[in-house]
Amino acid sequence: MQTFLRGRDLIGDLDFSKEEVETVMDVAFDLKRKRALGEPHPYLRDKVLAMLFFFSSTRTRGSFEAGMAQLGGHGAFIESNTTQIKHGDTAKEIGEIYGRYFDGMAIRHCDWGLGNKYINEVAQASRTPVLNMQCDIYHPFQCLADLMTIMEKKGRDLRKKRIVVSWAYAASYLKPISVPQSLILQMPRFGMDVVLAYPKEFPLMPEIVAQAQEQSKMFGTDFEITHDMDEAFDDADVIYAKSWGPLLTTTDPVEGKRLQDMYKDWITDSRRMSLAKKNAIYMHPLPADRDIEVTSEVMDGPQSVVYDQAENRLHVQKAVMALTM
């Protein structure tokens, strides 16, 4: 167990070493047990977390706010458009000032080319830890919750388990690429073989893929890329299929939607799930476009663990907050 996380930022998935992530998992499982038993655990009594949102949220706001309350503190919800950030407060000023008002800051900013840069600029100026609630490049807390869920379902030893990180069609909007990028970075460190599947117009950032390949080589796992969804699902232990935008191909929303609509057959259904192992699990960070991105039969079926994933956001976030704040 690592014991020197106090004051640390968590912005990118590799900011914490594998051993530090294992510490987060240990604490998260303990906090989940305490929550189930009704044991008080006010490790952050009288502390306040600023939760700054540039991007709407359901699970993220709810889990951080509830988590701070359960830890004995308070989560202050701040919507960027209702503050002077909209009219001129810079990232440096927010870091300097909120770093003095609050005991920690959590920021969600998913605008392409802006979000990660903004969060890092705030962190450089802040005297308190800064946590990334999702940006244009990473979604570390979702990935930690995913890792916790896979460990619950498949055991702590994940060596040679095969996870499919697949694009899927969605009609709602062009979603960020941060979830798949976090997954391919983190899962090789825990022994999982990664299969990344997407139509050719929907690649991830080359530097992130290169880092994922480096992690895979370092930890002795396999890393494959395919443009065939059926091929990806074959013999998989974990299916993680969700939509993301073609942001490295085009940033024009009209052209992006046209490209997205070319692949309406990239849906997770019972036929595709049958290609995976019989005990394979289906994962999605939510919200999903039902019967477009994934069929309701799969989403509500026995292989789906999406609600356990959503719950585990609470526990891993509490773990990181307790360790860093």
Q: What is the pLDDT of residues 249-272, one digit of tens each?
A: 999 999 999 999 999 999 999 999
Residue 182 tokens, joined:
């976090």
Query: What's this model's pTM, rounded to 2 decimal places?
Result: 0.97
pLDDT score recorded for residue 308: 98
pLDDT in tens, 271-312: 999 999 999 999 999 999 999 999 999 999 999 999 999 999
pLDDT score of 56 more than 90:
no
Show the DSSP H helices in the chain as ranges: 18-37, 59-70, 91-101, 115-125, 140-154, 178-186, 206-219, 229-233, 253-260, 270-273, 296-299, 306-324
For the chain, the average pLDDT equals: 97
What's the average model confidence in pLDDT over 116-142? 98
Determine the Cα–Cα distance for residues 109 and 133; give it in Å rounded to an integer: 8
Three-state SS across 24-36? HHHHHHHHHHHHH
| Burial bucket for residue 179 (CB in 10 Å: 0-12, 13-18, 19+) | buried
Determine the Cα–Cα distance for residues 169 and 260; give it in Å rounded to an integer: 7
Determine the Cα–Cα distance for residues 303 and 284; give it in Å rounded to an integer: 12
Determine the Cα–Cα distance for residues 194 and 191; give it in Å rounded to an integer: 9
Q: pLDDT tier at 152 (50, 70, 90 boundaries)?
A: very high
Contact 204, 194 (CB under 8 A): no
pLDDT score recorded for residue 210: 98
Determine the Cα–Cα distance for residues 106 and 57; give it in Å rounded to an integer: 13
pLDDT in tens, 183-194: 999 999 999 999
pLDDT score recorded for residue 317: 98
Determine the Cα–Cα distance for residues 107 and 234; give it in Å rounded to an integer: 37
Determine the Cα–Cα distance for residues 172 and 226; give it in Å rounded to an integer: 25
Contact 176, 244 (CB under 8 A): yes
pLDDT score recorded for residue 173: 84
Residue 165 tokens, joined:
């990180």
pLDDT score of 172 more than 90:
no
Q: pLDDT tier at 107 (50, 70, 90 boundaries)?
A: very high
pLDDT score of 86 more than 90:
no
pLDDT in tens, 9-21: 999 999 999 999 9
Is residue 106 within a helix (H) or strand (E), and if so which, with residue range?
A: strand 104-109
Alpha carbon 149 to its chain centroid, in Å, reads 12
The DSSP 8-state label assigned to residue 127 in this structure reads S
Q: Domains of the chain (ranges plus CATH)? A: 13-139+313-324 (3.40.50.1370), 140-309 (3.40.50.1370)
pLDDT score of 115 more than 90:
yes
What's the average model confidence in pLDDT over 200-213? 98
Residue 122 tokens, joined:
């705030």
Determine the Cα–Cα distance for residues 222 and 224; give it in Å rounded to an integer: 7
Contact 164, 187 (CB under 8 A): no
Helix/strand/coil for 320: helix
What's the average model confidence in pLDDT over 154-158? 97
Measured CA distances, 105 to 67, 120, 162, 214 (Å) = 14, 12, 35, 31
pLDDT score recorded for residue 277: 98
The DSSP 8-state label assigned to residue 290 in this structure reads B
What's the average model confidence in pLDDT over 59-82? 96
Of 241 and 1, the structure prediction assigns the larger pLDDT to 241
pLDDT score recorded for residue 24: 98
Q: pLDDT tier at 108 (50, 70, 90 boundaries)?
A: very high
pLDDT score recorded for residue 119: 98
Determine the Cα–Cα distance for residues 105 and 259; give it in Å rounded to an integer: 37
Measured CA distances, 125 to 79, 93, 99, 113, 162 (Å) = 20, 8, 8, 20, 41
pLDDT score recorded for residue 269: 98
